[in-house]
Amino acid sequence: MAGGPLIPGMQEFDRPRRGWPRWLTWVTVTAVVVGALVVLAGFVGGVGPLRILGTTTTPLEAVAYRLTDADSAIEVGFALPADGLCRDDVVDAVAFERGNRVEVDLSVVRSRGGDCALTSLGGDVRWVTVTLDTPLGSRTVVRTLDREPVPRQGG
């Protein structure tokens, strides 16, 4: 059996090539580049599946609540942050019903990038509707931020 090249003058041998196939290298590089672009777009632009990376969440303090016409909903008033609200801000309100109390958690989600066109200055009170699973009844409404009761407004 010959130990040299199959064709004299060429560097081909009877063993398979070692290493990754060239197409697998291109697929891997493409996947890494696309992944980096998705993360970058989420962080900088606030778009795509990772848009949460491009936002900041600031907790808001609930200052009062009032009943609505619907039994399974209340309106929670919150004090605006000192820097106000932007046009694109999203106020997120969640209620956790635990036994004889309803805990309300309020936060504002704001984009990291871009300038903010203020719609209002801080110091005002705004109201947001919170949907409950069961009617409020005699349960106490408390803030999740500090577990303090929220006063009821109105009759």
Of the listed ranges 6-10, 11-15, 42-46, the least confidently predicted one is 11-15
118 pLDDT higher than 70:
no
Per-residue CA distances from 68 to 3, 76, 86, 97, 135 (Å): 91, 10, 27, 18, 11
Q: Considering the entire predicted model, what is its pTM?
A: 0.61
Average pLDDT over residues 22-46: 83
pLDDT at 120: 62
